[in-house]
Amino acid sequence: MNRPIGVFDSGLGGLTVVKAFLRHLPDEPIVYFGDTARVPYGTKSKETITRFSGEIIRFLKKYDVKMIVIACHTASALALDSVLPEFPGLPILGVVDPAARKAVKMSKTKRIGVIGTRSTISSGSFDRAIYGLEPDARVFSKACPLFVPLVEEGRRSGPIVDAVVREYIEPLAQEKIDALILGCTHYPILADRIREVLPEDVALIDPAEESALSAKFVLKELGLAATQSTSESERAAQLKCFVSDDAASFKRLGEVFLGQAIPYVERVLDEEFQAA
């Protein structure tokens, strides 16, 4: 029960999911993998993302993880169903279904917006999840490919950011949505700017929060919740991060995403990763 949870993403963005896990599941150790050498996933094919996901899960299994959380929305959308049969007995959760459930619950008009990478939006994964829960819903989807590079360049405000946000979000506001799913791990970083373009009554759905709560429920149901309480100082040490490229850059930028120090970051060599 005190084994770690494995979390992975195409790069830095999944740390927003880790941040939610540290808040909602503070006693759970976490092993994180950021595939920084192969980011972005949002422009790659389903076959490629499925292969990457399988490689990463096999790597994380070396650390005796009790659960896998696919923090990357693109991988959740394109690879989750394909990797499940490969790892029987290992709970593997994505970020799409928890966010869809929350959006349907929060929306009064059932007019729901979704923003994400091109691959996530073209996959239709959020649409299927929402319609499966509420057949009468209307889903309005928008790919926002410039959000990720803006965030990773440290641009979170200013005229360029405001112009890009308006370009993407104003058409959704005109559709009179009352819930918007931030369907990429980077997008919550721009939530304040997005909020400024939308009416006040539009609920912003952060899949990171919903995924953490979903994982907490599943761990309890399976009898896998951690039984060992940890102090605040010990919690930071329970997070171990691995990356497929520059560890120093990941640590520097990752601490901004996470909002706290990252005590352990290690670059995994290509041959070690591929052999997992």
Which CATH number applies to 5-95+209-274? 3.40.50.1860
Query: Which pLDDT score is estimated for 86?
Result: 94
| Domain residue extents for the chain | 5-95+209-274, 96-207
The helix (H) or strand (E) run that includes residue 68 is strand 67-70
- pLDDT of 152 reads 80
For the beta carbon of residue 101, count every other beta carbon within 10 angstroms.
18
Q: Determine the pLDDT at residue 154.
A: 79
At residue 25, the pLDDT reads 94
pLDDT at position 230 is 63
**Residue pair 25/215 in contact by the 8 Å Cβ criterion:** yes
Which pLDDT belongs to residue 225?
93
User: Which residues are the active-site residues?
Assistant: 72, 184
Say what the pLDDT of residue 235 is: 61
- Check if 5-95+209-274 and 96-207 are the same fold: yes
Query: For residue 13, what pLDDT is reported?
Result: 87
Please tell me the predicted confidence (pLDDT) of residue 256.
81
Spans of the chain below 70 pLDDT = 230-237, 271-276
Q: How far is CA 163 from CA 144, 153, 183, 186, in A?
A: 13, 16, 20, 18
The residue among 247, 238, 257 whose CA lies nearest residue 3 is 238
CATH class of 96-207: alpha beta
Contacts of residue 1, defined as CB under 8 A and 6 or more positions apart, other chains included, come to: 66, 223, 224, 225, 226, 227
